[in-house]
Amino acid sequence: MKLIVLGSGTCVPSLKRNAPGYYLEGGGKRLIVDCGSGTLLQLLKAGKSYKDIDALFITHTHPDHVSGLVPFIHALAATPGYERTRDISIIGPDGIKQFYERCVSSVIRKPRSFSINLSEIDEKMDIGNLNVFAVKTVHSDNSIAFRFEEEGKSVVMTGDCDFDEELIKFSLGADLLVIDCSYPDKLKVPGHLDSTECGLIAERAGVKKILLSHIYPSPYPDHIRLTECRAVFGGDVLLAEDLMEFAI
């Protein structure tokens, strides 16, 4: 599997960090996980094409994670000289179908040459040769985390979340844990993780590497998050930056 960070930020505008979004390649498929504003441009910067995407996975429907869906589908349907004939899938939590009909299809025309297949993931599904798992997270009514597995390798992407025993179980043994590290410890907010909590989850889950993402602006320097996390987790810790690439 290959992962590219398209957006390591949040709803807060930043010249350094785009809104949440990730490109994941594996199992013969090219995926987007969350699709915040600017995802199309970030794909272009990463040398990837929106035309090649097979499916989009959505962790929850807060605006910073889905506001790129309208321009994404519009580009697929309306790029001059391009006609997509492959269907595309959008997979998300309970309510993703209603959200799409209300907030996406209501403002752009229905594609003529391809279909959009909407699915609400329960606990497990397969796409290509990827096994995909989901678990409810502590954040919003319908927020979920994803785990992608292929040939013994695994990456967990938490989306927005708070500390939770089920998330620890879900992340067991992951090769890479991409986790919500919204704030350093002193700025902890309910519904999001702080740096030490990220480290505790990673340590108890026995993951190999942790990528701290969903970074809100803070008066504290970035290295504080790394220091706090490393104090409780003995594995590799990295702070996400836009356009970072990982082979998993």
pLDDT for position 199: 98
Considering the entire predicted model, what is its pTM? 0.97
Share above pLDDT 70 across residues of the chain, in percent, rounded to a whole number: 100
Q: Can you tell me the mean pLDDT for 128-150?
A: 97
* CB-CB neighbours of 47 under 10 Å: 8
Q: SS3 of 75, please?
A: helix
Topology annotation, domain 2-247: Metallo-beta-lactamase; Chain A (3.60.15)
The per-residue pLDDT of the chain, averaged, comes to 97
Q: Can you tell me the mean pLDDT for 211-215?
A: 98
pLDDT for position 129: 95
Helix, strand, coil % over all residues of the chain, rounded to 5: 25, 30, 45
Hey, CA dihedral for 72, 76, 52, 147, is it positive or negative? positive
Q: Looking at this protein, which amino acid is placed at residue 175?
A: D
Q: Which of 215, 217, 243, 242 is nearest to 229 (CA)?
A: 215
DSSP 20: S
> Does residue 201 carry a pLDDT above 90?
yes
> Does residue 195 carry a pLDDT above 90?
yes
pLDDT for position 179: 98
pLDDT tens digit string along 174-188?
999 999 999 999 999
Q: SS3 of 40, please?
A: helix
Per domain, the residue ranges of the chain are 2-247
pLDDT tens digit string along 22-40?
999 999 999 999 999 999 9
Q: Looking at this protein, which amino acid is placed at residue 137?
A: T
- Opening angle at CA 195, ends 60 and 212, nearest 5: 55
CA terminus-to-terminus distance, the chain: 5
Cα atoms in the 13 Å half-sphere on the side-chain side of 161: 29
**58, 96 Cβ separation under 8 angstroms:** yes
Question: What is the C-alpha to C-alpha distance for residues 217 and 122, in angstroms, rounded to an integer?
Answer: 34
Q: Can you tell me the mean pLDDT for 147-170?
A: 98
pLDDT tens digit string along 45-89?
999 999 999 999 999 999 999 999 999 999 999 999 999 999 999
pLDDT for position 109: 84
